Chain A
C-alpha cells in the first residue's frame, strides 16, 4: 500500500450545520461507504480520517471533525473550525430552517477565517427529492412522499455564488455526490497543482485504528452516481 509510504498531504476539514441534516452520515458514507438510517446524534464532535490517492499519486489525508449540530454545542465549534483548511457546511434540502442555519455558519466562517478557508455548501438528502428519483437513482423503497424539497437548488447556488463557495447536492443515503464533495475540496487546496481528473481517483483504505467503527473498506467508486453537480433537479 504505497499510500502509507508516501508522504500524505493532510487536509483538516470541519463539518458544520444544523442538527440532523446528515453531517455524520455524509462522513460515514465518505469514510466507510456506509449508511445508517438512524444515527445517534453527535455529541461534541467526532473525528474521522480518510485517505485519498489522486491520479497523480498525490495522497490526501482528510482529517475530519464532524461537529454536533445542536445549538447548545455551538460554543465548541470554534475549537474545531479554527485551524481547519476546509469546511463543509451542510443543510437539509427539505428544511428551510437548516438553510438559514447554513447561511449563519457561512457568515461566521467568513468572519473568523476570511478567505483562508475553503467552504463547500452541501444540500443533503437529495434522495428525498422526487424529481431526482426518476433519472438514475434506484431507490429500494421509493417513498411516496411527493416533492419534499423545500430549498430550491437555485437558492443554494445563489448563496454559494455570493459567498464564493463550492456547491453540491448530495445524498448520504444513496451515496450520490458525496465523494465528489471531498475530491473537489482536495482539488482546491492551494498546496497542490495538478489536473482535474478526479473522476478516476482511487481511494485507499482509511487510516483508522482497528477499533474504529468504520470498516477498513475501500470506497467503491462505482457507487458514485456520476457528477452530482449535474443533478437532475
Chain B
C-alpha cells in the first residue's frame, strides 16, 4: 500500500487525464485536417445506447456515492473536472476552428450526448412535458440571449448541465437551440460543441446523408483520441447523473435525507447545488424543508441585529482585534480579484469582527480570514445567473447584489463559519492545542504510513510543526488553489456532518441544545449578546484576562467529541480535525519521492511552496480517497487521538 503504489496511480492519472479532449483533437487536425471519423460517432452511440432511461450513461459504481467508499480511489477519475475541460475546449474553439460545417469534430462529447439523449428519450416525451419545456425555454430565453450578446463570455458548462437537469429527462435541448442557431449563423457554426439537440440531429442527418464523405482510417492516434473522447463523455454523463441525483434528494420529500446527501456530497457537489447543500451539511439549515425559510430569516435577522449592535455607539470597539482584521483583510487571497473589491472587504471585515468578539476564547486568529472565504464565495454564487457562477471570483458583487443580498450572504457566511469553527475551536485558543495535537498525530501517522520518509525527515532534523502548522491552521487552504479547497470542503463537510437526520435540524434554530454542544457555546454567546452585556473593551484584549473562557471552549469541544463518539456506533463519525490529519498525511505522502532526495532546506522550502498550482479536482479527489483509506485502516490505532 504505501508510497509506491499511490504515487504511481497518480502518475497514471496525470498521464491519462492531462491533455484536454479538444487540444488533442486540434493536434490531430493540424495533421490531417479532417472531419470526424465514423467510428468516432459510433463509439459515442454505443457508449450511450445502453443507458438507463434517464438517457445518461450510468457510471453508477462510482457516482451513486453509495458504493463502498474504498472504491473511490479508483473511481475518482470520473470526477467533475470534465466540465471545465469542455469549457476550455469551447474557448479554444472559437478563434481557431475551421469553418467546416457539419464535419467539425466539435460535435465531440457534449453534442453527442445531447443527441443520444434526444434519441433515446423521444419515446418518453409526452405533450405535457413538451409544454413544460417550452415554458422553460421562454423563461430562459433572456439568459441565453445575454450569452449570445456577450460573445466573449461563453456559458459555463454548468449552465447547460443545470439547465438540462432542471428539465430532467425530457427534450431538454429545446431551450438552447434558437440561440445557438443565431450563434451559428454569426460565427460560422464554430460552436457546435454546444449545439442543441435539434441542431446536432440535423448535423447528424447531414452526416448521414452525405454518404460520399470518406472517413479516414482509424489510426492509432485516432484510437487514443477516441478513448479520450469516450472518457470525457463518460465523465460528462456521470456529472449529469450526479446533478440529477442531487436534484432528486433535494426535491423528493419534505424532509431531506441528510445521510444520503452526505454520501453523495462526499464525491463532490455540483456548483449549482453547493450553496444549499453546504448549509444543510453544516447544520445551518434543517432537513425539514418547510422550516428553511423561517429559520434562515431568523438567523439573518439575528445577524443583522448583532451587527447593528456592535456598530452602534454603545459598543466600544475592541480596537486591537478590529485593527488586526483590518490589516489582514487586504492580505486575504491577495491573488484573487474578488477579495480586492472594497464591497467584499467590508463584508468580510464585519463577519470576522463579529465572530471574533463573540468568541473571546480564541478571538480573531490569522487563518480564520482564509476560512471564511469559501463560504462567502459559494454563497455569492447563488445570486449569480448560472452561466456566471464559475466566474464569481472576477465579478464585483456590488454589480449584482443589493444591500439586502449582501446582508444575506454575510449572515449565511457568518453562521456557517461559526458552525465550522466551533468544531475546531481549540485550534485557535491560547497555545493552539488543537493544532499541536494534530501535528503530533500527523507525525505518528507518517511514521506508520511511510517509515522511510519519516526517518528521512528526522535525519534532516525537520520538525513536523515547521511545515504542518500552517496546514492545520489554514486547513491546507494556503497549499492548494481555492477551487480545489472548495471541492475539498464538499468532502470535509459531508465527512464530518451528522448522519442523524435531525441532528442539525434544530441546532440552526438554537433550540435543541442536546444534540449539538456546539450550540451551547453559540447560545451562551447569544445570551451575552442579547443581554447586551458584551463588554468588548474587556474582551479579548489579552488572552490572559480570559483564563476561564478557554476552559469553557475546551469543554464545549470535548462535549462535542463525546457526542460524536457516543452516538450512531455503526455510522461514520469523524471530527474535522481527525479527518484533516489523514488528508495532510496523504498530502505529505504525495511528495514523498521528491522529499527523499532533499536536505533540510530543500524539504522545508518545498513544503512551503508545494507545486499544486495546476491541480485539478481529480488530484484532490485522489488525495481525499487516500485519506479515507488510511483512516479506515488506522482508525483503531488512532482512536486514542481524541
CB of B324 within 8 A of CB of A43, answer: no
Chain A residues near B474 (CB, 8 Å)?
43
CB of A211 within 8 A of CB of B366, answer: no
Digitize B600-636: 1 where CB-to-A-CB distance is under 8 Å, 0 elsewhere.
0110111011110000000000000000000000000
CA distance A20 to B334 in the complex (A): 14
Chain A residues near B513 (CB, 8 Å)?
none
Stretch at the interface among B164-172, B228-236, B426-434: B426-434
A69, closest chain B residue (CB): B366
Interface size on B, residues (CB 8 A): 36
CB of B604 within 8 A of CB of A75, answer: no
Stretch at the interface among A44-52, A115-123, A137-145, A184-192: A44-52
Partner of B331, one of A41, A46, A207: A41
Partner of B432, one of A72, A207, A208, A213: A72
Query: Known interface pairs A211-B609, A211-B610. Does A43 touch B473 (Cβ–Cβ under 8 Å)?
Result: yes
Chain A residues near B608 (CB, 8 Å)?
46-47, 212
Chain A interface main SS type: loop
Chain B residues near A213 (CB, 8 Å)?
609
Residue B330 is within 8 A (CB to CB) of chain A in the complex: yes
Digitize A62-77: 1 where CB-to-B-CB distance is under 8 Å, 0 elsewhere.
0100001011110110
Residue B29 is within 8 A (CB to CB) of chain A in the complex: no
Partner of B367, one of A36, A43, A48, A63: A43
CA distance A68 to B465 in the complex (A): 13
CB of B466 within 8 A of CB of A39, answer: no
CA distance A39 to B334 in the complex (A): 7
Residue A40 is within 8 A (CB to CB) of chain B in the complex: yes
CA distance A213 to B609 in the complex (A): 7
Residue B543 is within 8 A (CB to CB) of chain A in the complex: yes
Residue B365 is within 8 A (CB to CB) of chain A in the complex: yes
CB of A70 within 8 A of CB of B330, answer: no
Chain A, interface size category, equals 20 to 34
Residue B394 is within 8 A (CB to CB) of chain A in the complex: no
Chain B residues near A71 (CB, 8 Å)?
543
Chain A residues near B610 (CB, 8 Å)?
211
Separation in Å of the B597 CB from the closest CB of chain A? 10
CB of A44 within 8 A of CB of B601, answer: no
Partner of B465, one of A38, A40, A79, A208: A79
Chain A residues near B432 (CB, 8 Å)?
72-73, 75
Residue A209 is within 8 A (CB to CB) of chain B in the complex: yes
B468, closest chain A residue (CB): A44
Partner of A38, one of B331, B478, B602: B331
Residue B549 is within 8 A (CB to CB) of chain A in the complex: no
Separation in Å of the B584 CB from the closest CB of chain A? 14
CB of A211 within 8 A of CB of B430, answer: no
**Which 9 A-B pairs have CB atoms at the shortest separation, nearest pair first?**
A44-B469, A38-B334, A43-B470, A47-B604, A20-B327, A41-B366, A38-B331, A209-B602, A72-B365
A-B contact pairs, 10 of them (CB 8 A): A19-B324, A20-B331, A38-B331, A44-B466, A47-B604, A70-B366, A207-B601, A209-B601, A209-B606, A211-B609
